[in-house]
Each structure stands twice: as C-alpha cells, then as structure tokens.
C-alpha cells in the first residue's frame, strides 16, 4: 500500500469526525470559555478546522514559521467553518493524490522565528503535527460541548449521547 492511501483514509476519517462536531455546534456560544486560561469555543473550533488545512503548509513547503506564515482563523459560526473544512478537504485530497512517494520523506521544519520546534519527514508532520494535534484539540472541544450540554457525537465509537 502506498503511503498516500493511508494518509487519504485518515484525512477523510478525521474530516468526517470534525464535521460531526461542527454540525452539533450550530447556534453554540462561540465566546464560551471554561476557564480564564482557556481558548474560547470559537477560537478552539477555528483552530481545529485550520489544522485540517495545514496539510498544504506541510506538503507544499519545507518550513512553516509561526511568526510569518500563520494568522489564526476568526470565523464566527459553525456554518462558515463547515464550508472551510469541506473546501479544504477537497484541496488536501488533491494535493496528497498528486504527490510522489518520495515527497513524503522530504524534511519539513516547524519553527517560531529562530526557534525550531520540530524537524521531521513530511509524512510525520501530517501525522504528528497536524492530525494528532487536531485530534487533541477536538477532544478539548468535546469537553466544552459537554459543559454546555451540547450533544457530543461518537467519533471513534458511540458516545453517551448516541445511546
């Protein structure tokens, strides 16, 4: 099996899981913060969606610098975020399908100015920096949903709200 087949499967699965969450956030209070040190629900939701679309940042360039290449998304509702997620998925899928196998092993660096956060193969960046990161934050988002009494969808099996 080619690396791209595994990445495409994961890309689709995680996009669909995020879509389940977004569909339950329609009408949610995007200003909600469970703690003063926490991101707001809107900030966290934007971050989860933008992480999906970092695929191009990892695959089309060799270095991503938070200081020059990143502006946080600030969309204010679930419908707008769903549109960004869906359109980004189409672009991500096409990009992965077009890549040569050797491209996945090229080095990619994540940095903040002069500080290097990580250097790893592009396939590793997709798994470690993007997918694991978005899964972590989407998990946080489901805790916010529970605190707001918004039904939490099952992502890797049924949730308490699916029963």
- For position 49, what pLDDT does the model report? 97
Per-residue pLDDT reduced to its tens digit, 87-128: 999 999 999 999 999 999 999 999 999 999 999 999 999 998
pTM (2 decimals)?
Answer: 0.93
DSSP 46-92: HHHHHHHTTHHHHHS-SEEEHHHH-------SHHHHHHHHHHHHHHH
In whole angstroms, what is the distance from residue 148 CA to residue 160 CA? 15
Domains in the chain, CATH or no CATH each: 3-147 (1.20.120.450)
Which percentage of the chain shows pLDDT scores above 70? 99
Residue 10 has pLDDT above 70, yes or no: yes
Q: Please give the average per-residue pLDDT across 63-79, as a whole number.
A: 93
The whole-chain average pLDDT of the chain stands at: 94
């Amino acid at each position: 099996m080619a690396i791209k087949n595994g990445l495409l499967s994961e890309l689709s699965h995680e996009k669909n899981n995020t879509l389940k969450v977004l569909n339950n956030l329609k009408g949610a209070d995007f200003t909600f913060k469970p703690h003063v040190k926490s991101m707001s629900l809107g900030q966290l939701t934007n971050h989860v969606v933008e992480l999906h679309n970092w695929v191009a940042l990892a695959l089309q360039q060799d270095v991503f610098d938070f200081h020059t290449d990143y502006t946080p998304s600030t969309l204010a509702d679930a419908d707008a975020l769903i549109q960004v997620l869906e359109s980004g998925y189409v672009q991500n899928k096409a990009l992965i399908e077009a890549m040569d196998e050797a491209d996945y092993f090229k080095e990619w660096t994540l940095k903040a100015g002069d500080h290097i956060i990580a250097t790893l193969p592009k396939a590793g960046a997709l798994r470690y920096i993007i997918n694991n990161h978005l899964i972590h934050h989407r998990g946080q988002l489901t805790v916010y949903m529970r605190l707001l009494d918004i039904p939490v969808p099952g992502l890797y099996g049924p949730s308490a709200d699916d029963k």
